[in-house]
């Protein structure tokens, strides 16, 4: 069955150089020019899980057909790169991240819908567009140890500006794994009446931390930078190991240049 029939979408375009688009090739002012039926209504709901730093859980950020389409798009590109990151200061240290990832073409109409939805979500938050969307895939026993999305030494652009990741979305694209929670180690734990299907707390010495379970179509949003553009240590997070199955997720990263 063709993608046009299956998803009621226009044909896909060729993948553009991901590193060119990641920082400089996409602007939040980009106008999405497509029939409204392709994007559909945004019926998500939100739960504020932290005020400082700001972190928001989003229910139903993407529809089931958007999830299926994006996952299929990622797999059809056949450009998943396997990552096994070693600790930079210790060659004998266990890998910090074991996963696969690929970048999606920003010209795809569904990708543009997600970008527009993300732009609408952040409202007046100061940013300078998005990195190229990245789909990540975790198989059994794969994980990503505690890390920050912001750069300790942010890159400088050809324009002379320095850019860093102002905020992050992480959206869950299935495929119903066991394990694979996203753990925020330094935020306050979830209250006792929090939905256990979505949230769980972690056992830590300081009593902090909670985890979100990978529910298809839902997402987490959080701010990475302080007002002075320095990285916020409190948004350290990790992807817990997959016990069985496969987890797909998508990074939607806002950049801020200064």
> Contact 129/157 with Cβ under 8 angstroms?
no
| Upper half-sphere CA count for residue 42 (Cβ side, 13 Å) | 13
Per-residue pLDDT tens for 228-253? 999 999 999 999 999 999 999 999 99
Return the SS3 of 145: strand
Q: Cα 238 vs. chain centroid, distance in angstroms?
A: 12
Rounded-to-integer distance, Cα 89 and Cα 101, Å = 24
Q: Average pLDDT of 125-151?
A: 96
Tokens of 212: 């979100």
The answer to pTM > 0.75 is yes
DSSP-derived pairing of the beta strands 81-85 and 210-212: unpaired
- Percent with pLDDT over 90 in the chain: 70
Q: Cα 65 vs. chain centroid, distance in angstroms?
A: 18
Residue 65 CB-density burial (10 A; 0-12 exposed, 13-18 middle, 19+ buried):
middle
The Cα-based distances of 82 to 43, 100, 109, 142 in angstroms read 34, 4, 27, 11
Q: Average pLDDT of 33-60?
A: 84
User: What is the per-residue pLDDT for 83?
Assistant: 62
> Contact 254/125 with Cβ under 8 angstroms?
yes
User: What is the per-residue pLDDT for 175?
Assistant: 84
The residue that leads in pLDDT, 27 or 184, is 184
Does the pLDDT of residue 68 top 50, yes or no? yes
DSSP assignment letter at 190: P
Does the pLDDT of residue 15 top 60, yes or no? no
Q: Average pLDDT of 201-214?
A: 94
Residue 33 CB-density burial (10 A; 0-12 exposed, 13-18 middle, 19+ buried):
exposed
The residue that leads in pLDDT, 28 or 127, is 127
User: Which pLDDT band holds residue 96 (cuts at 50, 70, 90)?
Assistant: confident
Domains of the chain, start order: 46-85+97-257 (2.60.120.620)
Per-residue pLDDT tens for 104-119? 999 999 999 999 999 9
């Amino acid at each position: 069955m063709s993608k046009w029939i299956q998803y009621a979408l226009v044909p896909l375009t060729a993948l553009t150089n991901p590193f060119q688009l990641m920082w400089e090739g996409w602007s939040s002012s980009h106008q999405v020019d497509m029939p409204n039926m392709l994007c559909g209504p945004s019926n998500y709901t939100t739960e504020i899980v932290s005020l400082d730093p700001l972190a928001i859980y989003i229910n139903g950020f993407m529809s089931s057909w958007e999830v299926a389409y994006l996952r299929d798009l990622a797999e059809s590109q056949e450009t998943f790169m396997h990552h096994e990151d070693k600790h930079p200061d210790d060659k004998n240290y266990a890998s910090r991240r074991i996963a696969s990832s690929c970048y999606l073409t920003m010209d795809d109409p569904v990708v543009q819908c997600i970008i527009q939805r993300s732009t609408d979500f952040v409202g007046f938050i100061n940013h300078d567009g998005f990195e190229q969307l990245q789909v990540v895939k975790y198989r059994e026993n794969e994980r990503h140890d505690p890390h920050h999305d912001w750069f300790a030494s942010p890159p400088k652009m050809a324009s002379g500006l320095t850019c860093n990741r102002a905020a992050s979305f992480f959206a869950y694209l299935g495929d119903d794994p066991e394990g694979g929670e996203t753990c925020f180690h330094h935020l306050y734990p979830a209250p006792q009446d929090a939905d256990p299907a979505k949230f769980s707390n972690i056992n830590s010495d300081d009593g902090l931390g909670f985890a979100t379970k990978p529910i298809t179509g839902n997402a987490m949003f959080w701010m990475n930078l302080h007002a002075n553009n320095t990285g916020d240590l409190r948004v350290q997070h990790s992807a817990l190991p997959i016990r069985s199955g496969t987890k797909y997720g998508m990074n939607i990263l806002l950049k801020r240049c200064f």
